[in-house]
Amino acid sequence: MIPRDRVLSKLDSLLRSNDYPAAKRLLQYWLSEAEYTGDDQGILLMENELMGLCRKLGEQEQALQYAQAALNQVGKMGIEDNVGAATTYLNSATVCKAFGLPEDAINLFQLAKTIYERDLSPTDDRLGGLYNNMGLALVDLKRFREAESLYQKALTVMGAVPEKEPEMAITYLNMATAAEMELGLTQALPTIRELVQKAMVCLDAGKDRQDGNYAFVCEKCASSFGYYGYEDYASQLQMRCRRIYEGT
C-alpha cells in the first residue's frame, strides 16, 4: 500500500507553496505505484486528488479523464453505495460543473447527496461542501430556488464546524452570483452588498491563518470582491495569499 498520510502531507506542503506542477508529479508518481502494487484504495485516492488538481489548473481533458477513471475504480471495487464512493461522485460532479456539464454534475451530486444524507452526521463538513457545489450546478441550470435552499443548508453545516469560515465566505459569494443571475445586477445590488459583507466577516475571522486552503480561498474570492467594487479588499486577500505562499 502506498503511504497515504505521507503523500497527502507532502501534497499539502506543495499546495501551500503554490507549486502545482510538483504536486501533480507527486500524485502521478504515487498513482503509478498504487497501480503497480494493486492498491485499489490508493488508486482511488490519487485519482480523486488528481481530478481536483487538474480542475484547479483548468486542464479539462485530464480532469475529466481522472474523474471517469475514479468512477470506474469505484465500480471495480464494488463500493458504489458507500461514503467513499459518494466522495468520488461529489468530486467528479465538481469537475463536470467546472467544465460546463451541469446536467452530468447534477446526476452525480444527487448520488452523493443520497449517500451523505443517509450515512453522515448532519454537521459533517462534507455535507456542507456537497450542498455548496451542488448549488452552483443548479444556478447554471437556472434552478434558483433549489440552489438557495442548498446554500442555506451549507451555511448551517459550516456554521457548526470550527474554522470553516472560508467555506462560508465562498457560499455567500456564490449566493451573490446567483442573485445577480436571477435578478440582474441593478435589482440584486442591495442583496449582493449584504452577502459580500458577510463574506468579508468570514474571511477576516481567519486572516492570520497560514494554511494552503485559506490561501486558495483568498485567491479564489479576490476576483469576486473586485468585480463587485471592493477592490481594496480584493488587494488585501491577494496579499494574504502571497504571504502564505511565500512563507512570510
pLDDT, position 245: 82
Is pLDDT of 248 > 80? no
Q: Cell digits for 73?
A: 475504480
Q: Exposed (0-12), middle (13-18) or buried (19+): which is 74, by Cβ within 10 Å?
A: buried
Whether 225 maps to a domain, the answer reads no
The pLDDT tens digits of the residues spanning 22-44 come to 999 999 999 999 999 999 999 99
**Cα gap 154→165, rounded to integer Å:** 11
Residue 174 counted as domain residue: no
Q: What is the tally of structural domains in the chain? A: 1
Question: Does residue 13 sit in helix, strand or coil?
Answer: helix
pTM: 0.88
Residue 38 is assigned to a structural domain of this protein: yes
Does residue 83 or residue 245 have the better pLDDT?
Answer: 83
Assign 244 a pLDDT band (cuts: 50, 70, 90): confident
140 found inside a domain: no
Residue 183 exposure: Cα atoms within 13 Å on the Cβ side: 15
CA-based nearest residue to 131, from 153, 164, 98, 105: 153
> What's the Cα-to-Cα distance from 3 to each of 9, 30, 48, 212, rounded to whole Å?
10, 9, 16, 21
**Does residue 147 belong to any structural domain of this protein?**
no
Spatial distance between the Cα atoms of 215 and 244, rounded to a whole number of angstroms: 6
217-231 in b/e burial notation, b at 16+ Cβ within 10 A? bbbbbbebbbbbebe
CA distance 84 to 73: 11
In a domain, 23, yes or no: yes
pLDDT digits (tens, 9 = 90+) for 43-53: 999 999 999 99
Higher pLDDT, 16 or 75: 75
Question: Mind listing the pLDDT tens digit for each residue in 152-190?
Answer: 999 999 999 999 999 999 999 999 999 999 999 999 999
CATH of the domain at 96: 1.25.40.10
How much is the mean pLDDT over the chain? 95
206 assigned to some structural domain = no
| Domain coverage including residue 14 | 1-119
**Are the C-beta atoms of 240 and 218 separated by less than 8 Å?**
yes
Residue 115 lies in a domain: yes
Distance CA 11, CA 209 (A): 18
